[in-house]
């Protein structure tokens, strides 16, 4: 009797186990199910991507351009889709993704007619990430390097002309960073460190808007360390090159009166000194 009852129950248990196993397999299959691949004409895919781009749906536009290349890698539209996907990433402020896509395009199509634009767009990706002078300037340096590469490789293009303008702004930004550090050293009475920073601006960032102040700060720093002759020499350079600058009058006061607070001496009756006679 025991044997017959056990034999009767066993098939039912096996049947239930089989059902449970089947359900688990179906659940696993449904969880791993991927989006169905449907091959479409290249024109339809590209036009759909352009429509999404014009609607400023940049995320989906980038996916659609990537799909053009995925489905039609040997089509003449594939390379255009690569570049447009990078542009969509750029507009979506996904600069890292854009740079990766552009590097790939440049590597695969170095002689493509759109290569100058690819280099220029890569430079813009760095340029758009330039932070204020109070922060690290890694992106500023990368932007300048990339802009210089555009000018070197494609000197007679509209991209090169715009790159030259942006390089001027980038150099001014880097000079501004050096000035900020130099002022910090000056405030904290680390005069030699301050002098080195201001000399970097004067020697390495000529033609920027920071030169007059850099010269004045050098006058201040040299005065504070007792090098009055050097302070007067720098003041003379400042007066010769920027005679109308507000920094010149302050530099004269510092060099002649030995004070870094010229306003404190403005009521004093002093000899005109050597600097005004020089100019």
Domain ranges of the chain: 210-279
Residues near 105 by Cβ (< 8 Å), separated by ≥ 6? Answer: 79, 82, 83, 86, 112, 118
Crossing angle for the helix pair 191-204 and 211-224, nearest 10 degrees? 150
DSSP string across 116-178: HHHHHHHHHHHHTTPPPTTS--HHHHHHHHHHHHHHHH-TTSHHHHHHHHHHHHHHHHHHHHH
- Residue 100's pLDDT band (cuts 50, 70, 90): very high
Tokens of 34: 């991927």
pLDDT of res. 264: 38
| From 37-41, 57-61, 170-174, the region with the lowest mean pLDDT | 37-41
Mean pLDDT of the chain: 78
Kindly tell me if the per-residue pLDDT of 101 is higher than 90: yes
**Exposed/middle/buried for residue 266 (C-beta within 10 Å: 0-12, 13-18, 19+):** exposed
CA 61 to chain centroid, in Å, comes to 24
């Amino acid at each position: 009797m025991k044997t017959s009852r056990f034999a009767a129950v066993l098939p039912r248990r096996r049947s239930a186990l089989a059902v449970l196993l089947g359900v688990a397999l179906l659940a696993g299959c449904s969880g791993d199910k991927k989006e169905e691949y449907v091959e479409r004409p290249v024109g339809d895919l590209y036009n759909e991507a352009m429509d999404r781009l014009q609607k400023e749906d940049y995320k989906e536009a980038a996916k659609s351009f990537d799909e053009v290349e995925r489905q039609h890698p040997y089509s003449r539209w594939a390379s255009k889709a690569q570049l447009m996907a990078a542009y969509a990433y750029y507009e979506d402020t996904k600069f890292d993704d854009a740079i990766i896509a552009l590097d790939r395009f440049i590597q695969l199509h170095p002689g493509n007619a759109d290569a100058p634009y690819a280099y220029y767009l890569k430079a813009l990706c760095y340029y758009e990430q330039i932070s204020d002078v109070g922060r690290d300037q890694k992106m500023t340096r990368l932007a300048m390097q990339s802009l210089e590469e555009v000018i070197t490789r494609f000197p007679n293009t509209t991209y090169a002309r715009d790159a030259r303008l942006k390089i001027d702004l980038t150099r001014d930004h880097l000079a501004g960073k050096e000035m900020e550090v130099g002022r910090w050293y000056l405030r904290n009475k680390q005069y030699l460190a301050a002098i080195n920073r201001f000399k970097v601006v004067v020697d390495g960032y000529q033609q920027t808007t920071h030169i007059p102040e850099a010269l004045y700060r050098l006058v201040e720093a040299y005065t504070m360390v007792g090098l009055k002759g050097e302070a007067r020499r720098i003041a003379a350079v400042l007066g010769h090159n920027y005679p109308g600058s507000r920094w010149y009058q302050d530099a004269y006061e510092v060099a002649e009166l030995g004070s870094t607070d010229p306003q404190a001496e403005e009521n004093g009756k002093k000899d005109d000194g050597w600097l005004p006679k020089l100019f």
